[in-house]
Amino acid sequence: MLSSKYSSAAFPLLLAGMLLLLIAFYEALGLPSPQNIVDTAEALYNEYGYSILFAGAFVEAIFMVSMYLPGSFVIFLAIYFSDKSIGDLISVSAVVIAAVISANVINFILGRYGFYRLLRYLGGDAAVSSMTETFNKYGDRTLLFTGFHPNFLAIATVCAGIARRSPTRTLIWVVVSSFVWVPPIVWLSSVLVNEISKNAGNGHYVILAILLIWAGAATLRSYLSSRNGSSG
């Protein structure tokens, strides 16, 4: 039986399984082809792209909620559907930075006023306990070196709220962290998506690869969180 600590990987694996079934049997079932579905998704992105991207990045940066909702997947899709020019990647980075900063204002409030306890059933206790130890050791710098992933930055910002750090100082660190980490990660993601596109060919195989990467990242993230929690 799959451990509950890895349940965040179940959703992308379920989606990947459904996509595989669609690829294998869409003709027999009389369903739209996977590529038609990808084309529809791209049309939606072209019309509502930055709004969808902001929502996905915002969800990805909210404490614990991001473990179970497809924020990373939305960001990867936005990069895939973009033209991957410097200007477009800068625009994607700017939207993600704005979403991450906005979400971490919420995370700080969750920590400051104890609302984070409402999300304990999602498994946040171990993560907060481990990050609190790190915060006690490194102080506000924790917000800088956890910015490589929105989930970890979210936990650090909640801990800043719990520790009743200065809201202004915390916001400055979150802004700096976002500007340091988001642009290079968006660029690296575009390189990865390009490589997947070259090897996978059709768009639906690219999306399948992104779903599997998402599942792998969720599993690794859950493993690291549980390991840190048990060692704390």
Give yes or no for a contact between 58 and 99, defined as CB atoms under 8 angstroms apart: yes
pLDDT, residue 17, reads: 74
* Distance (Å, whole) CA 199 – CA 221: 26
Position 4 in a domain: no
Question: What average pLDDT does the chain have?
Answer: 78
Q: Is 164 inside any structural domain?
A: yes
Domain assignment of residue 19, yes or no:
yes
Q: How many domains does the chain have?
A: 1
Within-domain flag for 3: no
Residue 2 located in a structural domain: no
Average pLDDT over residues 74-89: 83
Position 4 scores a pLDDT of 47
**What's the pLDDT tens digit per position in 138-163?**
889 999 999 988 888 998 999 999 98
For residue 190, the enclosing domain spans: 11-24+33-231
Instruction: Kindly report the pTM of this predicted structure.
Output: 0.73
- Render pLDDT for 175-204 as a digit per residue (tens, 0 to 9): 999 999 999 999 988 887 777 666 555 566
Q: Among the residues of the chain, which ranges form H helices?
A: 10-29, 34-60, 71-81, 86-112, 124-138, 142-145, 150-162, 167-200, 203-231
Q: Is residue 61 assigned to a domain? A: yes
Over residues 26-73, the pLDDT tens digits come to 666 666 666 676 677 778 777 877 888 898 889 889 987 766 666 677
Q: Is the pLDDT of residue 231 over 70?
A: no
Region class of 114: left (phi > 0), else alpha (psi between -120 and 50), else beta: left
Q: What is the pLDDT of residue 2?
A: 42
- pLDDT, position 33: 64
